């Protein structure tokens, strides 16, 4: 058993508490990882807020991490002690019907136990003050050591800087893949990206790499426009600058609507606007943001009858074990940006300050 620091969420709506936790050794087909760096994502906040129907407490959150394999359980063959790895919240077992189908990246092998906050055998590897602590998204990267299933880990280039590539565990991969895998943006196309946070910037990057000629960034926070343009946005607009609904503004700006739109906020009203900003006959809108539990999307069916397509994406459609190492290689060869997404680097015990920075849009 390893004793180490972890940021424990004891209950919903309260700040995280940095505690000493005990991390049990890995069982069969499990891997224990020393987490070197972790990033924050709005999904962590969503669960911490209490709005997540799958949220269990007390829990160690975090799902964008990178580290080194400390030890492996019986039967683990794909990684060994000392390997550099990224934990995966969408695993890839290679055996279930989802993994065998090229149309999806949603492995279902451990979905039920992962959603309940436990390892595949139904138990937890974390304890703190004599209490069992739940796992989160199969990763729990807000701990100096974590245990994951062996199908939830990607071995990456040992030369990669872990304080940067940890971001490929969720946000950057999700946005980039939404553009290149889910939407399949084509050269010369016009795109609109709603929400210019980390995921939105990654979508812009993907649209640019795919050869889009016009990329419109949409956000009410104008402080984000300069960064969006660095990533490839050709122009940025705020919905608050017009009396007309944003979809009407976009349809006018683009002679009938955009070829591709992306919702990167998790707001069902914006999801509708993103669809309705698409061009009749061929426009495709991709939902990337996660809306709160129980919310529903709506539009007039005629929007779809007249040729628009509504799609969604999880982790950008990447089959994780196969593609995360390739994404790291693309970063190392400078095909994709990663460093530019990092705004602040804080010591682990200041994790609550990091959440405050995220909430304030900084």
Encode pLDDT of 58-98 as tens digits. 999 999 999 999 999 999 999 999 999 999 999 999 999 99
Nearest to 275 by CA among 188, 192, 157, 161: 192
Exposure string of 249-288, with b = 16+ CB inside 10 Å and e = fewer, is bbbebbeebbbbbbbbbbbbebbbbbbbbbbeeebbbbbb
Instruction: Specify which residues 8 forms β-bridges with.
Output: 17, 60
For residue 60, the domain's CATH number is: 3.90.180.10
Find the DSSP H helices in 210-345.
225-231, 246-253, 268-276, 301-305, 320-332
Nearest to 41 by CA among 16, 15, 63, 71: 63
User: Do 127 and 261 belong to one domain?
Assistant: no
The ranges of the chain with pLDDT < 70 are none
User: Do 183 and 141 belong to one domain?
Assistant: no
Nearest to 173 by CA among 26, 279, 39, 22: 39
Exposed, middle or buried: residue 356 (CB in 10 Å: 0-12, 13-18, 19+)?
exposed
User: Do 244 and 341 belong to one domain?
Assistant: no
The pLDDT of residue 293 is 84
The pLDDT of residue 52 is 85
User: Do 119 and 77 belong to one domain?
Assistant: yes
> Does the residue 33 lie in any domain?
yes
Residue 244 lies in domain: 174-313
pTM of the model: 0.96
User: Do 277 and 134 belong to one domain?
Assistant: no
**Mean model confidence pLDDT for the chain:** 97
Measured distance CA(142)–CA(7) in Å, rounded: 6
> Does the residue 281 lie in any domain?
yes
Q: How many domains does the chain have?
A: 2
Q: Report cis status (omega within 30 of 0) of the bond before 241.
A: no
> Does the residue 216 lie in any domain?
yes
The pLDDT of residue 51 is 85
User: Do 280 and 157 belong to one domain?
Assistant: no
User: Do 191 and 276 belong to one domain?
Assistant: yes
The pLDDT of residue 140 is 98
User: Do 301 and 185 belong to one domain?
Assistant: yes
User: Do 187 and 331 belong to one domain?
Assistant: no
> Does the residue 108 lie in any domain?
yes
User: Do 207 and 244 belong to one domain?
Assistant: yes
Strands 59-60 and 235-237: unpaired
User: Do 327 and 243 belong to one domain?
Assistant: no
The answer to whether the Cα torsion of 21, 170, 194, 104 is positive or negative is: negative
> Does the residue 301 lie in any domain?
yes
């Amino acid at each position: 058993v390893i004793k180490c620091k972890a940021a424990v969420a004891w209950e919903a709506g309260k700040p995280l508490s940095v505690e000493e936790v005990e991390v049990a050794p890995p069982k069969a087909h499990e891997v224990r990882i020393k987490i070197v760096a972790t990033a924050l994502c709005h999904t962590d906040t969503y669960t911490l807020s209490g709005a997540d129907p799958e949220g269990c407490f007390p829990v160690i959150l975090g799902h964008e991490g990178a580290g080194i394999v400390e030890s492996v359980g019986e039967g683990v063959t794909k990684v060994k002690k000392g390997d550099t790895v990224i934990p995966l919240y969408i695993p890839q077992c290679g055996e279930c019907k989802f993994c065998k189908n090229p149309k999806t990246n949603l492995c279902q092998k451990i979905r039920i136990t992962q959603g309940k906050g436990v390892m595949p055998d139904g138990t937890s590897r974390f304890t703190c003050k004599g209490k069992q602590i739940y796992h989160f998204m199969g990763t729990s990267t807000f701990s100096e050591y974590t245990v994951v299933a062996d199908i939830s880990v990607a071995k990456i280039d040992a030369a990669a800087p872990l304080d940067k590539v940890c971001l490929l565990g969720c946000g950057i991969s999700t946005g980039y893949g939404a553009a290149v895998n889910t939407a399949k943006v084509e050269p010369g196309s016009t795109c609109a990206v709603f929400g210019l946070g980390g995921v939105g910037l990654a979508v812009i990057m993907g649209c640019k790499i795919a050869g889009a000629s016009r990329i419109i960034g949409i956000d009410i926070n104008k402080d984000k426009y300069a960064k969006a343009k660095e990533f490839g946005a050709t122009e940025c607009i705020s919905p608050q600058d017009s009396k007309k609904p944003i979809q009407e503004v976009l349809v006018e700006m683009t002679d009938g609507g955009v070829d591709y739109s992306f919702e990167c906020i998790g707001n069902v009203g914006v999801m509708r606007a993103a669809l309705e900003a698409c061009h009749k006959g061929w426009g495709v809108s991709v939902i990337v943001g996660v809306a709160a539990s129980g919310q529903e999307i709506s539009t007039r069916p005629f929007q779809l009858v007249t040729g628009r397509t509504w799609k969604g994406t999880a982790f950008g459609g990447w089959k994780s074990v196969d593609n995360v190492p390739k994404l790291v290689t693309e970063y190392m060869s400078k095909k994709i940006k990663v460093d530019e997404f990092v705004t602040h680097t804080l010591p682990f015990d200041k994790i609550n300050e990091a959440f405050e920075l995220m909430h304030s849009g900084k």
